[in-house]
C-alpha cells in the first residue's frame, strides 16, 4: 500500500481508479438494477475493468508494444506480451458471452413481456 500512496499521480493510480471503479460500478449495477439489459451492461463494465487491470499490470512506462518491427528494438524496451495475449482471449470470450446473453434476453422478453427480473415468473428456485 505504501508505494501507492508515495506518488499520487502514477500509473498505479490509473490502474486502481479505472479498473476498480469499473469493476465496482459494474457489480453495483448487477446487484441493484432490475432491468436485464442493464445487468448485462454492468457485467460488461466489470469485465472491462478486469481487462484493464490485467493489461495494465504488464505495462512499463516508456516501453513500446512487444513487436519487433524494427531491427533496433531490444526486448528490454518492450512491455510484457503475456498479459496482452491473455486479455485478447478474454475480450473474445466476453463478446461471445454478451451476445448470447442478449439473445437470451430477447427470447425471455418475448416469453414474458417484461425485462424486469423481479416480475418474471418461473425464475423461482
Partner 1 sequence: MRKIVGLLLIFGFGFYLVTIIGPVVFPSSTGEKASVGVEVLKNEVAEVGAANTVTSVVVLYRGFDTLGEVTVLFLAALGLTLLMKGEKHLQAKLFDESFILKTGSYLLFPFMILFGMYIIVHGHLTPGGGFPGGVIIATGYFIIVMTSDVVRLREGLVSFLEGLAGLTFIGLGLVGLFKPADSFLFNFLSKGTFNTLLSAGIIPFIYAAIGIKVGSELTGAVGNMFFSPYGRQKDA
Concatenated DSSP letters for 95-123? HHHHHHHHHHHHHHHHHHS--BTTT-TT-
| Residue 61 · residue 11 · CB < 8 Å | yes
Binders of partner 1 among residues 52 to 111 (CB under 8 A) are: 53, 56-61, 65-69, 75, 78-85, 88-89, 91-93, 95-97, 99-100, 103-104, 106-107
Least distance to partner 1, CB of residue 2, Å: 9
Cell output for 124: 423461482
Q: How far is the CB of 121 from partner 1 (least distance, A)?
A: 20
Alpha carbon separation from 89 to 11, 42, 59, 76, 96 (Å, rounded): 24, 20, 18, 25, 11
Which residues form the interface with partner 1 (CB under 8 A)?
1, 3-4, 10-12, 15-16, 20, 23-24, 27-28, 31-32, 53, 56-61, 65-69, 75, 78-85, 88-89, 91-93, 95-97, 99-100, 103-104, 106-107
Amino acid at each position: 500500500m505504501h508505494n501507492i500512496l508515495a506518488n499520487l499521480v502514477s500509473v498505479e493510480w490509473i490502474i486502481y481508479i479505472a479498473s476498480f471503479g469499473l469493476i465496482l460500478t459494474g457489480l453495483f449495477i448487477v446487484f441493484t438494477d432490475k432491468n436485464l439489459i442493464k445487468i448485462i451492461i454492468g457485467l460488461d463494465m466489470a469485465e472491462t475493468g478486469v481487462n484493464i487491470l490485467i493489461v495494465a499490470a504488464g505495462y512499463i512506462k516508456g516501453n513500446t508494444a512487444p513487436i519487433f518491427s524494427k531491427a533496433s528494438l531490444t526486448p528490454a524496451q518492450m512491455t510484457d506480451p503475456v498479459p496482452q495475449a491473455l486479455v485478447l482471449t478474454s475480450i473474445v470470450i466476453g463478446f461471445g458471452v454478451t451476445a448470447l446473453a442478449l439473445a437470451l434476453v430477447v427470447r425471455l422478453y418475448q416469453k414474458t413481456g417484461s425485462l424486469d427480473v423481479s416480475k418474471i415468473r418461473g425464475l423461482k428456485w
